[in-house]
A and B are shown apart, each in its own frame.
Chain A
Amino acid sequence: MTDTTTSPKSYREPAASAPILISVKGVGKSYTRGGETLNVLQGLDLEIPEGSFQALMGPSGSGKSTLLHLLAGLDRPSTGTIEVAGRRIDTMSEGELARFRAENVGFVFQSFNLIPVLTAIENVELPLLLTKLPSAERKRRAQTALRVVGLEDRMGHLPKQLSGGQEQRVAIARAIVHDPRLIVADEPTGDLDRASADEVLRLLTKLSQELQKTILMVTHDPAAAERATVRLHLDKGRLSLGPDAHPVARAETSTSEAKAEAKSKPASEESPS
C-alpha cells in the first residue's frame, strides 16, 4: 500500500477545543561545559493540542533537538515544567521516563536508526518487547504497522536491502506500532531525496489526520514544514510562530514571549557561540 497521498492543502485544523497534549511552562535548558554555562533554551511556554502536526524550525544550534528531547521525555529541563498527557515528566526519574516513552512516544530519526541485524518486521516489533503482549500478537501488530506504511511486502528484508525512503517508513512503522499519542521526528527527511521525503511527509500527515497522532517534527526544509498545521520557529533559545500558526499556539506563545522578555537575561549571556 503506497497510497498515502494527501493534498498538502487539505489540512485538518484541530478544533480550538482540542485537548492539550503537551503543556510547557517556563522551560529552560542549559549545559555546563568547562565552567561555562550555555543557555540553550530559556523561559519557553508552549501548548500543543492533541492531534496537531507541528513543525519546529530554526537555525542550526538553536536548540530544536534539545527541545524535542525534552518534550519526548529523553531529557529533563533545567527549569520549568513539562506536562504530557496529564503527567509531569520534568520530575520523573530515568526509569519512569523510560516507561513513559515506551507507552507514549514514538521516535523517528534523521538516519532511521534501524537495527541492521534485524529484519523490517523485527525492527518494528522492538518497542513491543517492552509490553506483555504474546509473541503472536506482537507479530500481528508489527505487520499491521508495516501495512500502514505500505511495506507489508518487505517484512523479511534487512535494512541494507531497503532504500532510504523505505527504511524511514519502517522506522515510522516502528514509531507507531505501540500506538503512542506523540510522535517526534528529528529531521525525518534530512537524509532523503525529494520523492522519498514527500512520501514520508504524506505518511506523517496521514498519521496525524487519520489516527489523530500528535506529531512534532524538526525540519530545515520549508517544503516539509508546509505539511504541518503549525510552524514554530526557534531562535536564540526563544520560540516564535511561523506565518500560519494555529491561533491557540499563537496566543500561548505570544504570552510566553512577553513573559520570557520580562525575565530575560542580558543578551550576551544567552546567545551561544
Chain B
Amino acid sequence: MNLATLAAKNLWRNRVRTVLTIAASAIAVLTFITLRTLVFSWTSASEVAAKDRVVTRHKVTFVMPLPKRYVEDVRQAKGVRVATFANWFGGKDPKHDQEFFGTFAVDRDTYFQVYDEMVIAPEDLARWKEDKRGAIVGDALAKKMGWKVGEKVTLDSGIFPNDPDNPWTFTISGIYTTTKKSVDRSSFLFRWDTFNDALPAAGKDQVGWIVSRVDDPSQAANIGVALDKVFDVQDTQTLSQDEAAFNSSFLAGISAVLRAVDVISGVILVIMMLVLGNTVAMGVRERTFEYGTLRAMGFQPGHVAFFIVAEAAFVGAIGGLVGMALSYPVVDQGIGKFLEENMGNFFAYVGVPRHVLVLALVLSIGLAIVASLVPAYSASRIRVTEALRRIA
C-alpha cells in the first residue's frame, strides 16, 4: 500500500456512485470523440483534395448545368492537361431505396484520367468502354449491395425522367478501389453518352460540372480565373475553383454548424467536469472525519488534497480510457462505417484521428483534476479538531 493506492481504494467506497460517475465520464468522452471525429473527417475531405484539379461549375450554384461545348473550351485553355465532366444523376436502386449512394454520368474517355486515385482493373475498364450500358461501382457499394460484375442493376433518377419502356438499366462492368482513404468508395458511375442519348432534346448536351487537371498546381487558381473570364462574355457564367475550395464551398454553408459542434463537444466535457466535481465534493463531505483522522495521525493538508485530486484523476482517466475504447466499435466500426457507406460523398473516410484520442484523454483527466481542486482545497484547509468533531 502507498499513498496512490490509498487514493485508488477510495473509489471502491461507493461502488455504484463510482461506476455511474465513470460511466458518465465515458459517455461524455465518447460523445466528444464522436463529434470531433465527424467534424474532422468532414472538413478533411476538402483538405485532402488534389491540388492540381480545378472544378468549373455554374456561377450561381452547382445544381445548375453548363453547356457541353464549354468542355472543349476548357480543354483548349492554357495550362489544362486534361478535362472531364459529369452530371449528378440522383439515382437510387428501387430495390434498396433506403440506401444512398452517389450516382454520376461520367465521360468514358477522360474521367479516370482526371480521377486517377480510382483504380480499375484494365479488363474491367475495357469492358466498360465497350458497353454503352456499363457501370463502374465502388468496392464498398458493391459489397453492401452484393453486386457482382455482370449483374444488371436498374436505377430510378430523382432528377431525370424514368421511362418504363426504357429504364435506366446498367450492367456492372467493373469495380473500383481507391488509393486514398478520402475518396468515396460508394459511387455508381455510368457513361455520359448513354445518359445524354436518353434525355429529351431540351435537356441534352448539358454537363453538371467540368473538372480539369492542370500542369502546375501552383497555377490552379490563376487558371480558374482565366477560365471564368472566357465564359464571362457567354450565355452562362461560371465559377472555377481548385478542388479544395470547391469541396469547402459545399461546407461553407455549414461551417458555422461545424464550429458549433466543436463548441458543443467541449461543453459536454465541461458538464462532465461539473458532475464529477459535485461527486467529488459529496464524497469529501462524507469523509471529513476520515481526513480528520488522517490529519491527527500526522498526514499533512497536502496529503489530503493529494488523495482527493488523485481520486478524481483516476475517475477521469478510467472514464477517458473507457470512452476511448468504446470509440473504436462505436465510431470507427459503427457510425463511421455507416456514414462511409451511406454518405460517402461527405464522409469518405471516418476514423477517429489519434490527436482526437489524445485530446480526449488529456481533457478528461485534466478537467477531472480541475473539478477536484476546490473540494480538495477546502478539505485540506479544515482544522483537524473541527473535522474530528464531525464524527459524532
Contact = CB atoms under 8 A, between A and B. Distances in A.
Interface string A8-20: 0000000000000
Nearest to B293: A113
A167 to B, nearest CB: 13
Contacts of A127: 297-298
Contacts of A192: none
A130 B299 contact: yes
B293 A109 contact: yes
Interface in A136-155: 138
A109 B9 contact: no
A71 to B, nearest CB: 13
Interface stretch (B166-174, B332-340, B383-391): B383-391
B256 to A, nearest CB: 50
Contacts of A138: 1
Contacts of A267: none
Given A69-B385, A122-B1, A135-B2, A117 B298 contact: no
Contacts of B293: 107, 109, 113, 115
- A75, A109, A125, A174 pick with most chain B CB within 10 angstroms: A109
B13 to A, nearest CB: 5
Given A98-B299, A117-B9, A111 B384 contact: no
A101 B298 contact: yes
B199 interface: no
Contacts of B3: 129
Contacts of B250: none
A116 interface: yes
Q: Chain A contact residues (Cβ within 8 angstroms of B): what range?
A: 20 to 34
Contacts of B392: 110-111
Given A74-B385, A98-B295, A107-B293, A117 B300 contact: no
A116 B300 contact: no
A204 B9 CA distance: 31
B1 A129 contact: yes
Contacts of B13: 116-117
B385 A99 contact: no
Contacts of A105: 298
Interface in B322-378: none
B192 to A, nearest CB: 73
Contacts of A113: 289-290, 293, 391
Interface string B1-32: 11100100110110000000000000000000
A248 interface: no
Given A74-B384, A109-B388, A95 B298 contact: no
Interface of A: 69, 72, 74-75, 94-95, 98-103, 105, 107, 109-111, 113, 115-118, 122, 125-127, 129-130, 135, 138, 174
Give 5 closest A-B pairs by Cβ, nearest first: A102-B298, A113-B293, A101-B298, A117-B9, A107-B296
Interface of B: 1-3, 6, 9-10, 12-13, 289-290, 293-301, 383-385, 388, 391-392
